[in-house]
Amino acid sequence: MVDTEVNRRVEELHTLINRYNYEYHALDAPSVSDAEYDELMNELRRLETEHPELITPDSPTQRVGTIPSSGFNTVRHEIPMLSLGNVYNEQELRDWAERVYRLAGRRDIEFVTEPKIDGSAVSILYRHGRYERGATRGDGTTGEDITANIRTVRNVPLRLRDGDGREIPDVLEARGEIYMRKADFEKLNEQRGDAGEPLFANPRNSAAGSLRQLDPAITSSRPLRFFAWDIGLVEGESEPTHSGNLAMLRSFGISTAPGATTHQSIDDVWAECQRWLERRPELEFEIDGVVIKVNDVELQAELGTVAHDPRWATAYKFPAIQKTTKLIGIEINVGRTGSLNPTAILEPVEIGGVVIRRSTLHNEDEIRRLGVLIGDTVVVERAGEVIPKIIAVIESRRTGDEKPFVMPDVCPVCGSKAERLDDEAMRYCINASCPARLKEQVRHFVSRGAMDIDGFGSRISEDFVDLGLIHSFADIFRLDWERIRELEGFGDKRIEKLQQSIEEGKTRPLSRLLTALGIRHVGERNAVLLATEFHTMDRLAEATTEEIEAIPGFGEIVALAVADFFHEQTNLDLIRELASLGVNMEEPTERRRPRSDAFSGKTVVLTGRLEHLTRDQAQEMLRNAGATVTGSVSQKTDFVIVGEDAGSKATRAQELGITILNEDALLQLLRAEIDDGVTLPETQVEDDAADS
Ligand code: IVH
């Protein structure tokens, strides 16, 4: 770059960064993602390193925070509130540690690691054990006086407890993070969506926004929490180590960073960073990294600070999981049940090494809740390997050209009416033989969890429906092979294999056929329960709603759905046809008691957070039931049990077509093991997720 060009770019970066700073800190309404912001800051830092003469006192790199808005009084931090430098990988972490070792002149240094919770930094001052003042970090030197607001945060003690005989210092400043738990954040956003209020992009913005309300009553209504990550000003005794100070704060009743641990080597520190990264999806709060600190307070002082960052601490930053992009359009796909599923078409954006082009929008209520318009700039999140989703809309980036999306009231595939049933959020195409539905139904019928017809993939399902070779499930068993032979890519060998797979498909147990038929609320689990109870299709078809409802774990909704299915003449005709084509209609005797040996000899993987069981309990029960519990999903895996915030393992299971069970289903199947002495927590299993 020529010098004048560099000058111009530096000016431009100042303007941009200042604007984003103001939006982020003063308005709590950022219009760019953190990653984009970081990129601009890094670019400016780089240019300033290359051209130090361009550094001005008002450069954003020379000031950490932002202008306190005029609504609150300002507060001076007697000891500046520092920021943190970042490391992004193992090598950078080791380089940081090497500098610490070098400056300290020794290598026997103890480190403390703490999660870096994504919240808002505050200072809380106690005088003679009483809460006196709360302040935001601001620019590190001056912040805003938010005493009234912090007072509303439930886990901030207003009076300190006697600390295990320790004397409470005359003045004690706790520094830490105000944050919101993920579940609380989601609930809050749901309420805001219902009230037509703009959604918060993430728990951090939500915490920061709640904290900076002029009306403390509003702050009080928000589920904020605090944890301390350091002490500031102390008049009185403090401890010689950081971990000692955290323990001291805890003894006074102040929450401290959860999961802080000490380490003797940087190998250990790195291993801990990786553990946090792995645990990230299961945590109750959002973290964006791990903070690493030198434990010895005296050594901290010796190491000192550069600009605003201490040399004795750094943050290992996780790869970004949220980015902003544009919503180009909304596409409607018709599902197996006829549901109209809106999919967001996004301007491609890379998150964690994967280019995201589409994301699900679930249903029209979700579109309304997000308040998203076509052309909007949106925040997209991809947590771990989880399917990406739109988290929020950045309204400040609207140009006026955005268009609202109207959910069609006709099916985009067959043109039939698309209706919302009762109080369901989904809209359904009412045409039972809609080609889009049929394709999805066939795809499901032949899939691994259903009739398991090998070689009959999505592509064949689609093409055969399009070509008019399949109009109903029965057609799968009486295909016109002469016509198929004429199709491109269908040689003798492939046809022979396919025919063989279809023949094998006919022999599947009744439970598989029930799953395959796509009866509402009947997924694999309920299908097994029905087949076990009634043994044959005929007996099931004759069963009354009451008889079905009597199956443990079945509710009225499921029972009615099953009975309704068998009351429909077209369904009975289909079953008769299938039977005449040689499709098995019975559950084999040895499989009639699968509830008691569902897991025997099976390989099972657990992923995500379970509600009623701990990981260890679940593992033990599964092992008692004869299962082998392993850590990674492969072709050999029979079941993947998914809890809350399940990550890559669930996605992998889906890709491999492995049976996925939720906790309820797991408990239901394990319940049958009670005879073998396994005790289970009480749960009521109502519905099957299969068709919702
Ligand atoms: S220590 C000198 N510890 O991260 C030490 N900060 O990027 C200064 N944060 O401003 C901070 N968790 O708001 C520290 N366990 C933790 C933290 C933490 C979150 C935030 C804090 C800080 C920012 C720096």
HEC secondary structure over 190-252: HHHHHCCCCCCCCHHHHHHHHHCCCCHHHHHCCCCEEEEEEEEEEECCCCCEHHHHHHHHHHC
Q: What whole-number distance in Å separates Cα of residue 230 and Cα of residue 177?
A: 10
Q: Is the CB of 84 under 6 A from ligand 1?
A: yes
Residue 114 CA: nearest ligand 1 atom is 15
Q: Is the CB of 229 under 6 A from ligand 1?
A: yes
Write the DSSP symbol of residue 592: S
* Å from CA of 89 to ligand 1 middle: 18
- pLDDT band for position 402 (cuts 50, 70, 90): very high
- pLDDT band for position 384 (cuts 50, 70, 90): low
Substitution candidate for ligand 1 out of 177, 225, 272 with most atoms within 8 A of CB: 177
Q: Residue 681 has what pLDDT?
A: 34
Is the pLDDT at 374 greater than 90, yes or no? yes
Per mean pLDDT, which of 121-135, 215-229, 274-288, 413-427 is the most reliable?
121-135
Q: What whole-number distance in Å separates Cα of residue 521 and Cα of residue 143?
A: 55
Q: Residue 360 has what pLDDT?
A: 87
- pLDDT band for position 271 (cuts 50, 70, 90): very high
Is the pLDDT at 298 greater than 60, yes or no? yes
Q: Minimum mean pLDDT among 114-123, 351-360, 405-414: which range?
A: 351-360
Mean pLDDT along residues 33-50: 89
Is the pLDDT at 5 greater than 50, yes or no? yes
3-state secondary structure of 554: coil
Q: Is the CB of 116 under 6 A from ligand 1?
A: yes
Q: Residue 679 has what pLDDT?
A: 35
Q: Is the CB of 315 under 6 A from ligand 1?
A: yes
Q: Is the CB of 313 under 6 A from ligand 1?
A: yes
3-state secondary structure of 421: coil
- Residue identifier of the C-alpha nearest atom 9 of ligand 1: 116
Six token digits for residue 52: 């130090």
* Å from CA of 610 to ligand 1 middle: 30
Substitution candidate for ligand 1 out of 175, 178, 229, 303 with most atoms within 8 A of CB: 229
* Å from CA of 175 to ligand 1 middle: 9
Q: Minimum mean pLDDT among 264-278, 458-472, 478-492, 633-647: which range?
A: 633-647
**Which amino acid does the sequence have at 495?**
I
Residues of the chain with pLDDT > 70: what percent? 92
Mean pLDDT along residues 492-519: 95
Q: Residue 22 has what pLDDT?
A: 57
Mean pLDDT along residues 220-229: 92
Residues of the chain with pLDDT > 90: what percent? 55
Work out the end-to-end distance of the chain between its first and last CA atoms, rounded to an integer number of angstroms.
57
Is the pLDDT at 342 greater than 90, yes or no? yes
- Residue identifier of the C-alpha nearest atom 14 of ligand 1: 229
Name which residue leads in pLDDT, 219 or 685. Answer: 219
Q: What whole-number distance in Å separates Cα of residue 559 and Cα of residue 550?
A: 9
Tell me: the pLDDT tens digits for 457-503?
A: 889 999 999 999 999 999 999 999 999 999 999 999 999 999 999 99
Q: Is the CB of 291 under 6 A from ligand 1?
A: yes
* Å from CA of 116 to ligand 1 middle: 6
Q: Residue 620 has what pLDDT?
A: 75
Mean pLDDT for the chain?
87
Q: Minimum mean pLDDT among 56-60, 244-248, 321-325, 359-363: which range?
A: 56-60
Q: Residue 673 has what pLDDT?
A: 42
Write 650-657 long-range contacts (CB < 8 A, 24+): 650/385, 650/386, 650/607, 650/608, 651/385, 651/386, 651/387, 652/385, 653/605, 657/447, 657/448, 657/449
Q: Is the CB of 177 under 6 A from ligand 1?
A: yes
Tell me: the pLDDT tens digits for 47-83?
A: 988 998 888 766 777 543 333 345 788 999 999 999 9
* Å from CA of 84 to ligand 1 middle: 7
Q: Minimum mean pLDDT among 336-350, 367-381, 576-590, 651-665: which range?
A: 651-665
Q: Is the CB of 83 under 6 A from ligand 1?
A: yes
* Å from CA of 188 to ligand 1 middle: 25
Name which residue leads in pLDDT, 319 or 312. Answer: 312
Tell me: the pLDDT tens digits for 126-153?
A: 999 989 999 999 989 999 999 989 988 8
- Residue identifier of the C-alpha nearest atom 21 of ligand 1: 121
Residues acting as catalytic residues: 116
Q: Minimum mean pLDDT among 472-476, 553-557, 646-650: which range?
A: 646-650
Residue 118 CA: nearest ligand 1 atom is 19
Q: Residue 443 has what pLDDT?
A: 94
Name which residue leads in pLDDT, 656 or 260. Answer: 260
Mean pLDDT along residues 293-304: 97
Q: What whole-number distance in Å separates Cα of residue 387 and Cα of residue 379?
A: 14
Q: Residue 152 has what pLDDT?
A: 87
Mean pLDDT along residues 650-661: 84
* Å from CA of 227 to ligand 1 middle: 11
What is the pTM assigned to this prediction? 0.56
Is the pLDDT at 20 greater than 70, yes or no? yes
Q: Is the CB of 114 under 6 A from ligand 1?
A: yes
Q: Is the CB of 272 under 6 A from ligand 1?
A: no
Element housing 331 (H / E)? strand 322-334
Is 474 within 8 Å of 574 (Cβ atoms)?
Answer: yes
- Residue identifier of the C-alpha nearest atom 19 of ligand 1: 116
Name which residue leads in pLDDT, 20 or 675. Answer: 20
- Residue identifier of the C-alpha nearest atom 3 of ligand 1: 229
